Amino acid sequence: MPAPYRIEMLGLRKAFGATVALDGVDLCVPPGVVHALIGENGAGKSTLMKVLSGVQRPDAGRMLLDGDPYAPSGPLEARRRGVVMIYQELALAPHLSVAENILLGIEPASRGWIRRRKLEEQAREALAALGHGEIRLHAPVSGLSVGAQQLVELARALVLDARVVVLDEPTSSLAAADLSRLFEVIRRLRERGVSVIYISHFLEEVEQIADRFTVLRDGRSAGGGLIGEADRSRIVEMMIGRQISEMFPRLPHPTGEPVLELADLAAPGVRSASLVLRRGEIFGVAGLIGAGRSEMLRAVFGLLPVRRGWVKVATVAGPGSPAERLAQGVGLLSEDRKGEGLAQSLSLADNLTLSNLKPYLRHGWLDRSAQSRAALDWVEKISIKAPGPRVPVFSLSGGNQQKVALARLLHHDCDVLLLDEPTRGIDVASKAQIYELIGKLAQTGKAILFVSSYLPELLGVCDTIAVMCRGRLGEKAPAGEWTEHAIMTAATGAREAAR
Amino acid sequence: MKNSPLSTRFRIPASFGSLLGLAVVFLLFSLWAGPPFYSRYNQVTMLTQSVIVAAGALGMTLIIIAGGIDLSVGSMIALSTVVIARALLAGAPPTWAALAGVAVGGVCGALNGFLVTRLGLVPFIITLGTLLIFRGAATGLSGEQKIDAPITWLNEMLTKFPSPSWTLVAVGVWLTVLLAIAVAVVLRNTVLGRHAFAIGSNEATARLCGVRVERVKLYIYTIGGLLTGFAGLMQFSRLTVGDPTAAKGMELDIIASVVIGGGSLSGGRGSVAGSLAGALLMTIIRSGLSMKGVPNWVQDVLTGVIIVGAVTLDRLRRESGGSE
Ligand SMILES: Nc1ncnc2c1ncn2[C@@H]1O[C@H](COP(=O)(O)OP(=O)(O)OP(=O)(O)O)[C@@H](O)[C@H]1O
Ligand SMILES: [Mg+2]
């Protein structure tokens, strides 16, 4: 008789030193079911999935795969037994090609010799199954955008005959257009009887794709059931133990004189961008992945060369290096927190104060306790879940790392904030806190350029929105005049027709 | 991206810069120093001179691609010459003595690999330690002096006048070329080679994807050691004695060759053709400069400038090339 469950995880425990990440979790998923795993940042979702995929050994508890005992000795054994995981942090080898990354660790080979043709064939099939046959197999992945890199990772799961596919926040960097394609892939997997475990902070996505759900809270399961039978506020309450009064608190903030102007700016990836950002304004930039939004911010911040046009900060026009921009009061939050956002082995407090150490210097000496106090202040303000200010950043959960990156920029006290996907990977409750914080910043006269692929937050937080499409930034309009539909049409190129 | 279809179809190989540099430098010296420089005799001389560093650079290329470094190769070469001389003295046939010299390199490399993977220390520190250990072992084994070995055909491996004359260059040069092709094929077409790139590129990812990181590193250091052992054999062939003080500081020439050839010390990048070009480039510069009577200290300064310049150029080329 076949086992009713594809995967059973029973009484799993895992502690990292004093931090208990999993405190006796049960999770059972039948075949052909999409099971959502939700919970606050640091609740233990990624850790649970790392145990499942053999990256970490549990301290206690056991697992069954199709009724057989399952205790993978490492990720390779897990993959061989059909348990495939797509990690929250993009995990690619930048120097290898797309095809090689897709098949890394499971290259088709005979006696150690790689069979290139087979390798490319399998990679091509996997990308085609994703609906992204256009990604070049030979391109080194370092040249791909974050979105395309994620597709490469997804393709990794599809080359194997998977029994269980785990997606850890797969959509935190995908634009809406890619989302429906991803869901299609997931549905296809479900039809083939694959169990899909889906971690996400977007409840609307979970409602759309999942059949069942489990809420984790502080390393324990805090409830679950059928998606159809639970409403959103119930789920949020299970997650954080209370209701969120308002997701997008609107604070009144007057706008003032221009602080950042772009005139016909062209840079690698950007064909033409003109905008005026005023003091106290929250300016949203929507668009598809690869439309050139990040590149525009990076060109403004001096990380990419300006090829044409100019950037004017306050009254000073001309190009500037990142250090000059910071001195002018312009700060950038990079979308790639792992690669360039954070120094992974430095502590939370060091990371948070890295770009602005001056307040903690006493006669040239660093006042470490003042530094720690300031860090704790921010830990409080945006609910960073961490055992203390001196823990290394790599030991924090993904969402909490993102919060540290954001907190550093806020701590730097810039006048103009360039935010590239600032709430990526952040849980619902903390998002509301961050939106409120952004509103407060605008109230104090800061100007914010807000790039996001999550349309509800753009519409809920921004004063004005413009859409970027294939390297061109469109006209801005008050947020109230936009709808999700209008933004999507503009982003896909049918600009004027929609408005 | 889309606007440069040409550069995507004909991707410029990583070694392009160093090969171009090699051609340019050769031309410049030919113009400056004239026939004595570009004569066939001098070409053969330079080729034979560069063999030791080139052979060492083959192994180093593997190691650097996998994100490692091996500072102990100079000592390994010395140890290898001593072992070969001892073996010959003890009456071993030349072939066996030569194999012993290569094997001792393999053992040293395996030891490096073992320590790097087991102790979890950075290879820089480990091989800094084994640099002294191997050098000490060579000195001890040789009784603190050069070992004269009987003359055998091993000493002919780097001769400038090979016989039969249709072979053009010495057998040592040909062997190095064969080994270079073998290493290039391993890097390109085997799982081991691609995993070396993957580890150098992103070790954590390689591990998550089930690459046996420790085992691959052990193999890479061992193969690197074997190639260094071969470099030791070439060194012996040139010296005709077992010399515990041989190849002091050669690890730096070897690493420089790899780096000039487009290798990245942070791993994931490097090529056999580039490293060979790097080794040749350094020999050509030294040879050309001493031919013109440029004092040694100027030669050193210029070589240093060229190393830094080559790497800078390579980086500029990569940043502006935008082949991705
Ligand atoms: N390697 C580690 N060392 C120390 N602590 C760790 C480590 N990995 C995770 N933790 C801790 O375990 C807890 C659970 O982390 P986990 O990454 O599972 O959270 P998560 O639910 O995935 O959160 P997020 O939504 O932010 O991704 C956190 O408190 C985190 O700090
Ligand atoms: Mg996580």
Higher pLDDT, A79 or B178: B178
Closest ligand to Cα A396: 1
The verdict on A123 touching B (C-beta cutoff 8 Å) is no
CA gap A403, A385 in Å, rounded: 9
This prediction has a pTM of 0.77
Pull the structure tokens for residue A473: 């930034």
Residue B4 has a pLDDT of 36
User: What is the residue whose two structure tokens read 């997606």?
Assistant: A167
The verdict on B208 touching A (C-beta cutoff 8 Å) is yes
Residue A92: its chain B contacts at CB < 8 A? 202, 205
Pull the structure tokens for residue A387: 């055992």
- Specify which of A246-250, A279-283, B301-305 reaches the highest per-range mean pLDDT: A279-283
Taking CB atoms and an 8 Å limit, are B208 and A94 in contact across chains?
no
- Residue B207 pLDDT > 80: yes
Q: How far is CA B111 from the centre of its chain?
A: 19
The residue contributing the CA closest to ligand 1 atom 24 is: A41
Question: Identical fold at A7-240 and A258-498?
Answer: yes
Domain A7-240: which CATH class?
Answer: alpha beta
CA gap A176, A289 in Å, rounded: 9
- Domain-embedded: residue B74: yes
Residue B275 has a pLDDT of 95
Q: Please report the sign of the dihedral spanned by the C-alpha atoms of residue B261, residue B265, residue B269, residue B272.
A: positive
Q: Please report the sign of the dihedral spanned by the C-alpha atoms of residue A185, residue A191, residue A195, residue A200.
A: positive
The total domain count for chain B is 1
- Domain-embedded: residue B64: yes
Q: Please report the sign of the dihedral spanned by the C-alpha atoms of residue A444, residue A445, residue A450, residue A455.
A: positive
Taking CB atoms and an 8 Å limit, are A105 and B206 in contact across chains?
yes
Task: Report the pLDDT averaged over residues A460-480.
Answer: 91
Q: Please tell me which of the candidates A105, A116, A143 has its beta carbon nearest to residue B324.
A: A143
- Domain-embedded: residue B225: yes
**Mind giving me the DSSP string for A253-306?**
----SEEEEEEEEEETTEEEEEEEEETT-EEEEEE-TTSSHHHHHHHHTTSS--
Question: Which pLDDT tens digit goes with each residue over B31-82?
Answer: 988 888 889 889 988 999 999 999 999 999 999 999 999 999 999 999 999 9
Pull the structure tokens for residue B66: 């996998």
What is the phi/psi pair of residue A154, to 5°?
Answer: -60, -40
Domain ranges of chain A: 7-240, 258-498
To the nearest whole angstrom, how far is the Cα of B196 from the nearest Cα of chain A? 11
The residue contributing the CA closest to ligand 1 atom 4 is: A395
- Identify which of B106, B221, B83 has the alpha carbon closest to the alpha carbon of residue B154: B83
CA gap A138, A325 in Å, rounded: 36
10 Å CB burial of residue A13 (0-12, 13-18, 19+) is: middle
For A101-136, b where at least 16 C-beta lie within 10 A, e where not — what string?
Answer: bbbbbbbbbeeebbeeeebbebbbebbebbebeebb
- Identify which of B121, B64, B123 has the alpha carbon closest to the alpha carbon of residue B265: B64
Residue A266 has a pLDDT of 92
For chain A, the farthest-separated pair of C-alpha atoms sits apart, in whole angstroms, at 76
Average pLDDT of chain A, as a whole number: 86
- Residue A378 pLDDT > 70: yes
Question: Which pLDDT tens digit goes with each residue over A86-129?
Answer: 876 667 888 899 999 999 888 888 888 999 999 999 999 888 87
Question: Which pLDDT tens digit goes with each residue over A180-215?
Answer: 778 888 888 888 888 999 999 888 889 999 999 999
CA gap A15, A7 in Å, rounded: 22
CATH hierarchy code of domain A258-498: 3.40.50.300
- Name the DSSP letter for residue A339: I
Residue B11 has a pLDDT of 53
The question of ipTM being above 0.90 is answered as no
Cis peptide before A305, with omega less than 30 degrees from 0? no
- Residue B294 pLDDT > 50: yes
Residue B1 has a pLDDT of 36
CA gap B32, B293 in Å, rounded: 12
- Specify which of A125-134, B76-85, B287-296 reaches the highest per-range mean pLDDT: B76-85
- Residue B165 pLDDT > 60: yes
Task: Report the pLDDT averaged over residues A166-191.
Answer: 78
Residue A92 has a pLDDT of 87
Residue B80: give the domain boundaries.
Answer: 45-247
- Domain-embedded: residue B16: no
Taking CB atoms and an 8 Å limit, are B209 and A104 in contact across chains?
yes
Residues with CB under 6 A from ligand 1: A 16, 19, 21, 39, 41-47, 88, 385, 395-400, 425, 427
The pLDDT-based confidence of A229 (bands split at 50, 70, 90) is confident
- Residue A9 pLDDT > 70: yes
The verdict on A139 touching B (C-beta cutoff 8 Å) is yes
Question: Which pLDDT tens digit goes with each residue over A271-281?
Answer: 999 999 999 99
Higher pLDDT, A9 or A234: A9
- Residue A12 pLDDT > 90: yes
Task: Report the pLDDT averaged over residues A320-336.
Answer: 86
Question: Which pLDDT tens digit goes with each residue over A401-431?
Answer: 888 888 888 888 888 999 998 888 888 888 8
User: Would strands A282-287 and A365-366 be described as parallel, antiparallel, or unpaired?
Assistant: unpaired
